[in-house]
């Protein structure tokens, strides 16, 4: 019989991050390659992580009055053309429907790469007065961007995301919204995914096609490359003017709205996998783990089966009632060793082993996935101990990622220093930049390091551009991007 | 200033159901026409109904071990062709992507009209042994079916649904799953939407393209036409053979799996609107209503504004804590009369009015949307009374719909009788049918009545086909379908 996976086959993270990444995603059953080139299937274990992100984001959005809705998958090309930078940015990546119902379409339809244009076409019908503002709408959906080189979760032709689009009376309201969304994303990454972030502003050449300013959440992956985790865009009036999103303001005058759009995608799961794992598989932070504890009954020959099964079920119920996501692995066809391996690969934070000895002593052996430490816990102390362990593992994961980030964020005083870092450790580089796009392009071409962001907490300083030596006022974050 | 709606403009349900239907959907802000012909936008108030359906269905599915996942939007045409009846059924309705990333595709991609083929292509990789069964996977997604004549919610080129696809060791397991899903759908319609249903089996010509047997939930709309509310399909081995979904069974032999697929769509919201409403707008059953109670402060000149606002907020908090979905309409720019109209059109079950008098007496005026009855309730009795009213309204809505269904389900002993009913009242007709497809087609062509289903509880009887007079064993349900 073919097995779902073999531990011995798992590639080693310590040897090749990229190979391990793909391998662990397939073997942990987070996702699989689809029968369409460049597309993927998100399997239940991976989708459960996304559902957790949805739950957290929905709660944040609800607290701010952002409501969910749904807009069409297809966009007439003419709508896309209304904002020039926007259509220019997305044109190379479009999937286009030219046949419908057996007939060639007069007006081909674009499969949405993002929904600004189709949503704002509706917003014009809905916004009349300042009393209709702020208009705060979000949708959870799928988008398509044609990609030549794809990578599970990180770059696929179709991905899932939420896209929120808001309209405000003034730019202050729009910027507030952008920053609020940015903080939510930062919290999801730091408190759930246990990945530290740097939040900041994108350069003009790295911003979203059509935005006035793009805010970003940047993370550092174990190979020293940066991953953009989520963005929120201050669209200014770039869309409201061509889409004629006018409203009567409090002074009774006609004005254009100020807009934002912001999103987090299933790409985030790629960051999670890259960050947390070892040669034995994933190590999921408890707050985002679909299964936080796996109970494995050790069904040896002389065991009291009924007693043991009852004991496991009773533990499961107690843990579930305490809010722990727990499963009992009762599959009798699989050996205990194979089960241990399987749940290790899947990165379940805690393994609870119970055999005849534990049944008799009313105890349980608790094994941590992250450090492999075993301890025997009395049944009556189990709930408290497991809660405390889950909390501890969550913290430890974050502290470890943060230490890595700090150790791999380096200042570069000269271009030689910057190049040296890029040739050795990579990571984040803090360096003065003159904010001239030509210099930015040259640095990227010469070193692979692009501007990731100007951190929101960056202070104004006096310095000189790391490449051209012209005066510069801020240190930007540079890195090679995924 | 343009207003969102004018009550006086609302079409009358009593005069023209179809015009009222479209009008009330637009004015209650459930949905709007999209900038793409045949597509719609589901606005937050409509989407909140769908989110409730998702919540209920997710709980049912979870209880049965059905897990959520996500499969690609695009399907290679070659995959669709693997099951002959399936591709024949869907070919006329396909939207096809022929251009991707600026290049003409060698292999055009179909935008999924349903996901059997792409999912089962994956299932082949995942199923090896009986231990992998049952495989129970669901996805919440969007599908596209090219339609010439569209109708908000009821027939649109794109709609939202969930589609669950399960694989079992034997047909018994598959049929059990079909019937379980059918019961869930029946419960959603009856207990949440307050719409009575008839559940049964589709005729061979009305079944799903590729199914062995289709189970259906049928409802009767106020105009005497039938609406198919949800279906579950016993796919037999129709897909598992061409897709080679083989497994090693308990006897160690190779066998093909038995499959099901089942779905409920946003079309259900169309049934909800058609069933519940009057000339003043929607009347939403409380269990599905996004807002169950709207608090309207009456801000007359001499009112203690701060006191009144505090009172409203305090009531809102108390109701929210009791699990009531409640909103305070604090918009000062809108007159009280206009507010009353707006919430009437939107079908909010209860309106809570509070002015100076109620503030002083610590009471609240409660008005029922369904029968317009007003009563003054003391604040301390409010929670109990509102809970009881919401329950009562839910029951009354169902009882009324059930009475309509019963009154409009008629036996037809002869073809003349059947034609007479179709020419006058329409509704459901119970009649013997020989189960010959030619007769079924002739009846539909001659009277517009198609077979809706053979009810699951139909008894075997001795009779003669209503049209051809040949012996028949069961009375089927006939009706004109939406």
pLDDT for res A313: 97
Residue of A40, A47, A72 lying closest to B34 (CB–CB): A72
Q: Does B285 map to a domain?
A: no
H helix or E strand, kind and range, residue A180:
helix A171-187
* CB contact (8 A) between residue B121 and residue A35: yes
pLDDT tens-place string over residues B415-459: 999 999 999 999 999 999 999 999 999 999 999 999 999 999 999
Write out pLDDT tens, residues B315-372: 999 999 999 999 999 988 899 999 999 999 999 999 999 999 999 999 999 999 999 9
Residue in A32, A99, A128 nearest the CB of B122: A32
The CATH number for A196's domain is 3.30.930.10
Rounded to whole angstroms, the Cα distance separating A148 from A156 reads: 9
Which residue in the set A35, A96, A131 is minimally distant from B97, CB to CB? Answer: A96
**What is the C-alpha separation between A451 and A477, in angstroms, rounded?**
6
Would you say residue B434 lies in a domain?
yes
CA distances from A413 to A418, A443, B279 (A): 8, 14, 74
Asked if A71 has any chain B CB less than 8 Å from its own CB, the reply is yes
A331: closest chain B residue by CA: B131
Residue with tokens 């380096």: A410
Query: Is it the case that residue B149 has pLDDT exceeding 90?
Result: no
**Structural domain span for residue B413:** 409-479
Query: What residues of B are in contact with residue A147 (Cβ under 8 Å)?
Result: 101
Q: Distance between CA atoms of A401 and A407, rounded to whole angstroms?
A: 10
Same structural domain for residues A248 and A328?
A: no
Q: Tell me what the mean pLDDT of segment A338-355 comes to.
A: 97
Decide if A474 contacts A201 (C-beta within 8 A). no
Round to whole Å and give the CA distance between B336 and B78.
60
Q: Once rounded to an integer, what is the mean pLDDT over residues A59-83? A: 96
Mutation test of the interface with chain A: which of B62, B72, B92, choosing the one with the most A Cβ atoms within 10 A? B72
Count CB-CB contacts under 10 A for residue A404: 18
Distance, in Å, from the CA atom of A281 to the CA atom of A276, rounded to the nearest integer, reads 9
Q: How many CB atoms lie within 10 A of CB B404?
A: 18
pLDDT, residue A1, reads: 36
Which one, of B56, B218, B216, B57, lies nearest residue B138 by Cα?
A: B57
CB A300 within 8 A of CB A360: no
Query: Taking CB atoms and an 8 Å cut-off, how many pairs form between chains A and B?
Result: 180
Tokens 């926007």 found at: A86
Mean pLDDT of the residues in chain B: 96
Residue B8 confidence (pLDDT): 57
Contact B71 A41 (CB under 8 A): yes
Question: Among partner residues A40, A70, A92, which is closest to B47 by beta-carbon distance?
Answer: A70
A130 in Cβ contact with A247 (< 8 Å): yes
A181 and A224 inside one domain: yes
Query: At residue A6, does pLDDT exceed 90?
Result: no
- A1, B248: Cβ pair inside 8 Å? yes
Q: Is A252 on the interface with B (CB under 8 A)?
A: no
Q: How many residues does chain B have?
A: 482
B41 close to A (CB below 8 A): yes
Same domain, B272 and B307: no
Model confidence band, residue B301 (pLDDT cutoffs 50, 70, 90) = confident
Of A35, A72, A160, the CB nearest to B36: A72
Q: Are residues A219 and A305 in the same domain?
A: no
A176-225 pLDDT, tens digit each: 999 999 999 999 999 999 999 999 999 999 999 999 999 999 999 999 99
Q: Are B181 and B205 in contact (CB under 8 A)?
A: no
CA of B123 to nearest chain A CA: how many angstroms apart?
A: 11
Instruction: In whole angstroms, give the CA distance from residue A121 to residue A258.
Output: 15
CA closest to B332 among chain A residues? A131
A19 in a structural domain: yes
Which of A242, A277, A312 corresponds to the end of one domain? A277
Is the sign of the CA dihedral A377, A380, A386, A387 positive or negative?
Answer: negative
Contact B431, B473 (CB under 8 A): no
Question: Residue B299: enclosing H or E segment and its boundaries?
Answer: none
What CATH code is carried by the domain that includes residue A322?
A: 3.40.50.800
Asked, for residue A398, whether it belongs to a domain, the answer is: no
Assigned domain for B117 exists:
yes
Least Cα separation, residue B370 to chain A (angstroms): 27
Say if the Cβ atoms of B32 and A122 lie within 8 Å. yes
Q: Are strands A281-282 and A293-297 parallel, antiparallel or unpaired?
A: unpaired
CB of B144 closer than 8 Å to CB of B198: no
CA distance to A411, A448, A455, A468, B160, per residue, from A416 (Å): 12, 14, 23, 12, 55
Q: Dihedral sign for Cα B369, B374, B380, B381, please.
A: negative
Query: A36: which chain B residues are within 8 Å (Cβ-Cβ)?
Result: 72, 74-76, 109, 118
Question: What is the CB-side half-sphere exposure of residue B99 using CA atoms within 13 A?
Answer: 16
Distance CA A155, CA A52 (A): 21
- CA diameter of chain A: 85
State how far the Cα of A2 lies from the Cα of B127, in Å rounded to an integer.
9
Compare CB distances from B44 to A68, A79, A142 and report the shortest one's residue: A68
Single residue among B356, B389, B422 that ends a domain in this structure = B389
Of B42, B74, B125, which has the smallest distance from its Cβ to A32's Cβ? B125
In sequence order, the 6+-apart residues with CB closer than 8 A to the CB of B431 are: B411, B412, B413, B418, B466, B475, B476, B478
**Contact assignment for A48 to B68 by CB distance below 8 Å:** yes
**Same domain, yes or no, for B441 and B385?**
no
Question: Based on the structure, what is the number of domains in chain B?
Answer: 3
Domain finish residue from B354, B389, B424: B389
Does residue A50 contact residue A31 with C-beta atoms inside 8 Å? no
ipTM exceeding 0.85, yes/no: yes
Q: How far off is chain B from A254, nearest CA to CA, in Å?
A: 11
- Residue B62 at interface with chain A, using a CB cutoff of 8 Å: no
Peptide bond into B134 cis (omega under 30): yes
Residues B428 and B307 in one domain: no
Between chains, do A72 and B40 touch, taking CB under 8 Å as contact?
A: yes
- Do B332 and B217 sit in the same domain of this protein? no
Residues of A in contact with B137 (CB under 8 A): 44
Predicted pLDDT of residue A229: 97
Q: Is A452 helix (H, G, I), strand (E, B) or coil?
A: strand
Matching residue, tokens 């089960």 = A339
Are residue A156 and residue A247 in the same domain, yes or no? yes
Cα dist from B191 to B56, B196, B288, B418, whole Å: 11, 9, 9, 31
> Residue A118, preceding bond cis, omega within 30 degrees?
no
Residue appearing with tokens 């994303």:
A185
Answer whether A210's CB lies under 8 Å from A238's CB.
yes
pLDDT higher than 70, residue A391 = yes
Which pLDDT tens digit goes with each residue over A15-47?
999 999 999 999 999 999 999 999 999 999 999
Asked whether residue B283 is domain-assigned, the answer is no
Task: Give the pTM.
Answer: 0.96
Q: Locate the chain B residue with the closest alpha carbon to A32.
A: B122
Cβ distance of A98 and B102 shorter than 8 Å:
no
Q: Is there a single domain that holds both residue A376 and residue A436?
A: no
pLDDT band per the 50, 70, 90 thresholds, residue B3: very low
Q: Are residues A316 and A436 in the same domain?
A: no
Which residue reads 């309409």 in tokens?
A: B329
Q: Is A261 strand, coil or helix?
A: strand
- Residue B126 is given by DSSP the state H
Residue B295 buriedness (CB in 10 A; 0-12 / 13-18 / 19+) = buried
What's the token pair of residue B416? 């003349």
Residues 338-377 on B with a CB inside 8 Å of A are none
Structure tokens belonging to residue B260: 């099901």
For the residues B244-255, what does the mean pLDDT come to? Answer: 97
Contact A111 B111 (CB under 8 A): yes
Q: Is A418 helix (H, G, I), strand (E, B) or coil?
A: helix
Residue A226 lies in a domain: yes
With contacts defined as CB-CB under 8 Å, which chain A residues touch B98?
96-99
Closest residue in A to B101 (Cα) is A93
Measured distance CA(B198)–CA(B192) in Å, rounded: 16
- The DSSP symbol for A481 reads B
Strand locations in A206-273, DSSP E?
Answer: 213-220, 226-236, 246-248, 254-256, 258-265
Residues B247 and A53: their CA atoms lie apart, in Å, by 35
With cut-offs at 50, 70 and 90, classify the pLDDT of residue A3. Answer: very low
> Which residues, including other chains, have CB under 8 Å from residue B245's CB and lie 6 or more apart?
B120, B123, B124, B127, B167, B239, B256, B257, B259
With CB atoms and an 8 Å threshold, state whether B111 touches A160: no
Please state whether the peptide bond connecting residue A328 to the residue before it is cis, i.e. omega within 30 degrees of 0. no
**SS3 state at B379:** helix
Cross-strand partners of B430: B411, B477
* Average pLDDT estimate for B382-408: 98
Share of chain B above pLDDT 90, in %: 94
d(CA A423, CA B288) in angstroms, rounded, equals 60
Look at residue B177 and give its three-state secondary structure.
Answer: helix
Nearest to B236 by CA among B153, B162, B301, B171: B171
Indicate if B202 and B230 belong to the same structural domain: yes
Q: Which of B101, B131, B333 sits opposite A93 (nearest CB)?
A: B101
Do A99 and B95 lie within an 8 Å CB cutoff?
yes
Q: Residue A449's domain is classified under what CATH number?
A: 3.30.110.30
Distance from CA of A285 to the nearest CA of B (A): 21
B282 is a domain residue: no
Residue B313 CB burial class (10 angstroms; 0-12, 13-18, ≥19): middle
Yes or no, beta carbons of A100 and B98 under 8 Å apart: no
Is the CB of residue B290 less than 8 Å from the CB of residue B48?
yes
- Please report the pLDDT score of residue A8 as a whole number: 57
Contact status, residue A271 vs residue A229, Cβ threshold 8 Å: yes
CA B98 to chain centre: 33
Q: Cβ separation of A35 and B76 shorter than 8 Å?
A: yes
- Among B47, B77, B97, which would you mutate to test the A interface (most chain A Cβ atoms within 10 Å of its Cβ)? B97
Task: Provide the pLDDT confidence category of residue B5 given band limits of 50, 70 and 90.
Answer: very low
Is the CB of residue A453 less than 8 Å from the CB of residue A477? yes
Q: A235 with A302, same domain? A: no
The chain A residue lying nearest B102, using CA atoms, is: A92
- pLDDT above 60 (res A465): yes
In chain A, whose CA is at the least distance from the CA of B3? A128
pLDDT at residue B124 above 80? yes
Please list every residue in chain B whose beta carbon sits closer than 8 Å to the beta carbon of residue A66.
Answer: none
The Cβ-side half-sphere exposure at B221, using a 13 Å CA radius, reads: 22
Residue A276 and residue A282 in contact, taking contact as beta carbons nearer than 8 Å: yes
Q: What residues 84-143 of chain A have any CB closer than 8 A to a CB of chain B?
A: 91-102, 108-109, 111, 118, 121-122, 125, 128-129, 131, 137, 141-142
Record: contact B94-A79, CB cut-off 8 A: no
Q: Would you say B255 and B132 are in contact if contact means Cβ atoms under 8 Å apart?
A: no
């Amino acid at each position: 019989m073919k097995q779902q996976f073999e531990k011995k086959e798992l590639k080693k993270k310590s040897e090749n991050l990229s190979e391990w990444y793909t391998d662990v995603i397939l073997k942990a059953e987070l996702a699989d390659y689809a029968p369409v080139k460049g597309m993927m299937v998100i399997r239940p274990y991976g989708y459960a992580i996304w559902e957790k992100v949805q739950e957290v984001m929905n709660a944040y959005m609800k607290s701010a009055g952002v409501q969910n809705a749904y807009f069409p998958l297809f966009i007439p090309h003419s709508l896309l053309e209304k904002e020039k930078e926007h259509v220019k940015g997305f044109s190379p990546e479009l999937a286009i429907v030219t046949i419908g119902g057996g007939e060639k379409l007069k007006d081909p339809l674009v499969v949405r790469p993002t929904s600004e244009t189709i949503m704002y076409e509706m917003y014009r019908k809905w916004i009349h007065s300042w009393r209709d503002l702020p208009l705060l709408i979000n949708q959870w959906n799928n988008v398509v961007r044609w990609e030549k080189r794809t990578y599970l979760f990180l770059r696929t032709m179709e991905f899932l995301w939420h896209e929120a689009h808001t309209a405000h009376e003034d730019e202050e309201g729009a910027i507030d919204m952008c920053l609020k969304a940015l903080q939510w994303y930062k919290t999801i990454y730091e408190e759930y995914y246990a990945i530290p972030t740097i939040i900041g502003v994108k350069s003009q050449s790295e911003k979203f096609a059509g935005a006035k300013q793009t805010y970003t959440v940047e993370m550092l992956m174990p190979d020293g490359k940066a991953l953009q985790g989520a963005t929120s865009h201050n669209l200014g009036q770039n869309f409201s003017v061509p889409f004629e999103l006018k409203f009567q303001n409090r002074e009774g005058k006609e004005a254009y709205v100020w807009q934002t759009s912001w999103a987090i995608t299933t790409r985030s799961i790629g960051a999670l996998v890259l960050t947390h794992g070892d040669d034995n598989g994933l190590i999921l932070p408890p707050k985002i783990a679909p299964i936080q504890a796996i109970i494995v009954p050790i069904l040896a020959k002389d065991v009291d089966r009924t007693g043991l099964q009852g004991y496991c079920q009773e533990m499961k119920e107690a843990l579930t009632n305490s809010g722990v996501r727990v499963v009992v692995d009762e599959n009798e066809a699989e050996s205990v060793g194979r089960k241990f391996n399987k749940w290790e690969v899947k990165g379940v934070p805690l393994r609870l082993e119970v055999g005849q000895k534990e049944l008799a002593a009313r105890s349980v052996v608790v094994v941590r996935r992250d450090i492999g430490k075993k301890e025997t816990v009395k049944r009556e102390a189990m709930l408290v101990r497991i809660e405390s362990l889950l909390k501890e593992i969550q913290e430890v994961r974050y502290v470890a990622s943060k230490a890595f980030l700090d150790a791999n964020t380096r200042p570069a005083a000269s271009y030689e220093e910057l190049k040296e870092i890029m040739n050795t450790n990579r990571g984040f580089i803090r360096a003065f930049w003159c904010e001239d796009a030509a210099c930015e392009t040259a640095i990227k071409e010469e070193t692979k390091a692009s501007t990731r962001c100007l951190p929101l907490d960056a202070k104004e300083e006096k310095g000189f551009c790391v490449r051209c030596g012209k005066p510069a006022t801020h240190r930007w974050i540079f890195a090679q991007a995924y």
